[in-house]
C-alpha cells in the first residue's frame, strides 16, 4: 500500500489529491473548500503549501491542490466530515506521520556518524569530477550536432539512480538519505560513468552511443550489486 504521507523538501506532508476520496468527498474541490474557507486558521499552523496537477484531459485546466503538514492535517480532520472512513484515515495518516518523524530522527543520527560524513565528503568529490567530465561530454555532443546537449546532465543522473535504487519517495537530495553502502555504490557508479564518457570521446564515438555505453556499464554494475531501496531507514523505524 502506497504511503499517503510523503516528503516534500524533506518535510512530511500529505496531498489533498490523495485525501478527498478517502474522506468521503466525490470531488476534490469540495475538500479544498474546507481549507479555503478557513485559510487563515490553517496559516496559523504554518505556510500552506500547494501543488499543481496536470489536467486529465487535453485542453483542461491545471488543478490546484494543497500539501498539509501534520498539524494542518489534524485541523482538516477536525473541520471536515466525520465518518468511519475519516476515522480510519486519521489513524492511518497519523501512523505515517509518526513513522516519517522517526525516519527524520534516524537520518539526523546517521549524519552525525563520522564514517558516513567521510563517505559523503569523498562521494561529493567524485561526483564533482564526474560533473566536470559531463561538461566536456555536453560540449562534445554540441559539437557533433546535438540540439539539446545539456539534457545529459539530468539524463545521466536519472539513469544512474534508476539503475541502482528503488525510490519509495521523492527526495530533495537522494544522497543525503543514503546509507554508507549506498553512498559507496553511487560513488562507484559515478566513476563508471566518468570512465565511459572519457573512453567514448577518446574513440570519437557518436554521442548517443557514448551515453548507451555509460548506461550499459552502470547497468552491469547494478546487476552485480543489486538495486536497493532508499527507504531502509524508514523500514527500521516501523
Distance CA 37, CA 75 (A): 13
Block residue for cell numbers 566513476: 191
pTM listed for this prediction: 0.64
pLDDT band at 1 (very low <50, low <70, confident <90, very high): low
pLDDT band at 231 (very low <50, low <70, confident <90, very high): low
Is the predicted pLDDT of residue 232 greater than 70, yes or no?
A: no
Distance CA 136, CA 187 (A): 20
Angle (CA) 69-74-80 rounded to 5° is 120
Domain layout of the chain by residue ranges: 5-109, 113-236
Amino acid at each position: 500500500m502506497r504511503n499517503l504521507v510523503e516528503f516534500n523538501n524533506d518535510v512530511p506532508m500529505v496531498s489533498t489529491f490523495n485525501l478527498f476520496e478517502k474522506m468521503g468527498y466525490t470531488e476534490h474541490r469540495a475538500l479544498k473548500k474546507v481549507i479555503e474557507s478557513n485559510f487563515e486558521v490553517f496559516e496559523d499552523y504554518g505556510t500552506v503549501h500547494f501543488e499543481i496537477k496536470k489536467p486529465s484531459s487535453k485542453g483542461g485546466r491545471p488543478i490546484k491542490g494543497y500539501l498539509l503538514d501534520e498539524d494542518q492535517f489534524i485541523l482538516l480532520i477536525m473541520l471536515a466530515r466525520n465518518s468511519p472512513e475519516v476515522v480510519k484515515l486519521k489513524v492511518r495518516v497519523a501512523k505515517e506521520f509518526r513513522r516519517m518523524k522517526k525516519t527524520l530522527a534516524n537520518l539526523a543520527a546517521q549524519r552525525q556518524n563520522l564514517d558516513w560524513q567521510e563517505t559523503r565528503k569523498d562521494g561529493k568529490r567524485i561526483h564533482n569530477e564526474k560533473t566536470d567530465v559531463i561538461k566536456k561530454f555536453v560540449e562534445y555532443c554540441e559539437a557533433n550536432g546535438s540540439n539539446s546537449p545539456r539534457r545529459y546532465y539530468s539524463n545521466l543522473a536519472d539513469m544512474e539512480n534508476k539503475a541502482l535504487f528503488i525510490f519509495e519517495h521523492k527526495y530533495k537530495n537522494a544522497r543525503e538519505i543514503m546509507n554508507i553502502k549506498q553512498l559507496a555504490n553511487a560513488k562507484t557508479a559515478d566513476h563508471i560513468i566518468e570512465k565511459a564518457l572519457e573512453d567514448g570521446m577518446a574513440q570519437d564515438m557518436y554521442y548517443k552511443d557514448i551515453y548507451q555505453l555509460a548506461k550499459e556499464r552502470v547497468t552491469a554494475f547494478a546487476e552485480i550489486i543489486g538495486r536497493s531501496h532508499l527507504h531502509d531507514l524508514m523500514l527500521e523505524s516501523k
